[in-house]
Amino acid sequence: KKLSISFLANNNSTLSFHELPQETQTTIERKRLADYCRKAYKKVNHTREETRETTVCQCENSFYVDTVRAFRDRRYEYKGLHKKWKKNLATASKKEDLNEARRCNNLIVIYDSLQLAHKCILNSFYGYVMRRGARWHRMEMGGIVCTTGSTIIKRTRELIEQIGRPLELDTDGIWCVLPATFPENYELITRDPARPKVVISYPCSLLNLIIKDYYTNDQYHELVDKEKRQYEIRDENSIFFEIDGPYLAMVLPASKEEGKRIKKRYCVFNMDGSIAELKGFEVKRNGELQLIKIFQASVFDAFLKGTTLEECYGHVATIADYWLDLLFSHAKDITDKELFELISERRTMSRMLSEYGEQKSTSISTAK
């Protein structure tokens, strides 16, 4: 009713609401409704969760499954080569062959990068089917993958809670602490001269047993004759856990608010003290203050010092006190050049300056 009696300016002329074009009326109504919802309900959208069942069948053309499987197999190939050259590096180190050791190191980096690249591509397949503009968009397929992954992680957490302690749950993995007495690897001696020894990861086998029992497709159809349309029915399960580690330490920050958890924010250290994985911290991001990045980098090193928890916190507190003194003293002990380097940040503009129009940001103001 309020809109119907409103008069709005349009091209220097005054019109009532019902005289405006239908598209303009719809835009105004939506804006008014959104403003009211924000004021009255503190939100614009209402989220509702429903449990549904569906089946994704690709018997006629299994191109998507075949593509994912091809990428997975190629990644396994690169991972095998990565392990092979790690063994060659150990052999070269024993022989003190510096040239061969350098060659092995280069190939280790190459194959590790290739397998990581294929891992990223594999992860993008899931996001692709969820994207509305994708040619092969199918929300049901994405929902099945999401639900299956969620239930797998939940079952895994329940098992690990009986053995050790889960630390961080991710969409495709779980970080945990296991007792030192828990069996890690088993070595089996074979009669095959090409592969005389097989190493089996006990924790990995334990988790994969859950996958086999609950997530095996016992009616997988594989096309064997295209002309006669003949299919071979077999059990199929291509979901496997991979074990990473053991690692020296994992640092997880505490939540600022009670009852709220921090997701994907942790630092993992290798046995030699180097950082194996870093997620969620400002030190990795563009557009953050150098002060924060330098502080975090120095704090991570301090977490590995000391033999007890109190000594570790003492080393971390020493670094924190230094940077707090710098802030409270308004950086009076350093030069202006050093100060500007600490309070500066680096940002990247993806378009030309003229394309941003009347938008406002620190990056646009600096570029102008």
Per DSSP, the chain holds a count of helices (H) and strands (E) of: 9, 11
Between CA 345 and CA 337 the distance in angstroms is: 14
Average pLDDT over residues 96-105: 87
| Confidence band, pLDDT 50/70/90 cuts, at residue 82 | very high
Q: Are residues 331 and 304 in the same domain?
A: yes
Q: Is residue 185 part of a domain?
A: yes
Q: Is residue 197 part of a domain?
A: yes
**pLDDT at position 17, please?**
72
**pLDDT at position 74, please?**
93
Q: Is the pLDDT of residue 145 over 70?
A: yes
Q: Is residue 143 part of a domain?
A: no
Q: What's the one-letter identity of residue 320?
A: A
Q: Is residue 108 part of a domain?
A: yes
Decide which of 350 and 150 is more confident: 150
| Confidence band, pLDDT 50/70/90 cuts, at residue 14 | low
Q: Is the pLDDT of residue 295 over 90?
A: no
Q: Is the pLDDT of residue 289 over 90?
A: no
Between CA 133 and CA 125 the distance in angstroms is: 14
Q: Are residues 20 and 80 in the same domain?
A: no
User: What does the pLDDT look like over 200-253, one tens digit per residue?
Assistant: 888 888 889 988 888 888 888 888 887 888 888 888 888 888 888 788 888 888
Q: Are residues 173 and 233 in the same domain?
A: yes
Q: Is residue 270 part of a domain?
A: no
Q: Are residues 288 and 322 in the same domain?
A: yes
- Tokens standing for residue 46: 């209402």
Q: Is the pLDDT of residue 5 over 70?
A: no
**pLDDT at position 12, please?**
57
Q: Is residue 46 part of a domain?
A: no
Q: Is the pLDDT of residue 196 over 90?
A: no
What is the share, in percent, of the chain residues with pLDDT greater than 90? 6
Q: Is residue 159 part of a domain?
A: no
Cβ contact 215:239 at 8 Å: yes
User: What total of structural domains would you count in the chain?
Assistant: 4
Average pLDDT over residues 178-186: 87
| Of 13-22, 69-78, 222-231, 307-316, highest mean pLDDT | 69-78
Q: Which of 218, 244, 270 is the last residue of a domain?
A: 244
Average pLDDT over residues 331-356: 76
**pLDDT at position 110, please?**
93
Decide which of 2 and 303 is more confident: 303
Cis bond before residue 166 (omega within 30° of 0): no
- Tokens standing for residue 268: 């993992």
Between CA 216 and CA 203 the distance in angstroms is: 20
**pLDDT at position 337, please?**
76
Q: Are residues 110 and 173 in the same domain?
A: no
**pLDDT at position 111, please?**
93
Q: Are residues 15 and 59 in the same domain?
A: no
Cβ contact 120:112 at 8 Å: no
Average pLDDT over residues 10-36: 77
Average pLDDT over residues 290-308: 82
**pLDDT at position 4, please?**
55
**pLDDT at position 7, please?**
52
Q: Is residue 190 part of a domain?
A: yes
Domain span at 70 = 52-137
Q: Is the pLDDT of residue 77 over 90?
A: yes
**pLDDT at position 113, please?**
92
Decide which of 333 and 115 is more confident: 115
Q: Are residues 60 and 20 in the same domain?
A: no
Q: Is the pLDDT of residue 10 over 70?
A: no
Q: Is the pLDDT of residue 130 over 90?
A: no
**pLDDT at position 11, please?**
57
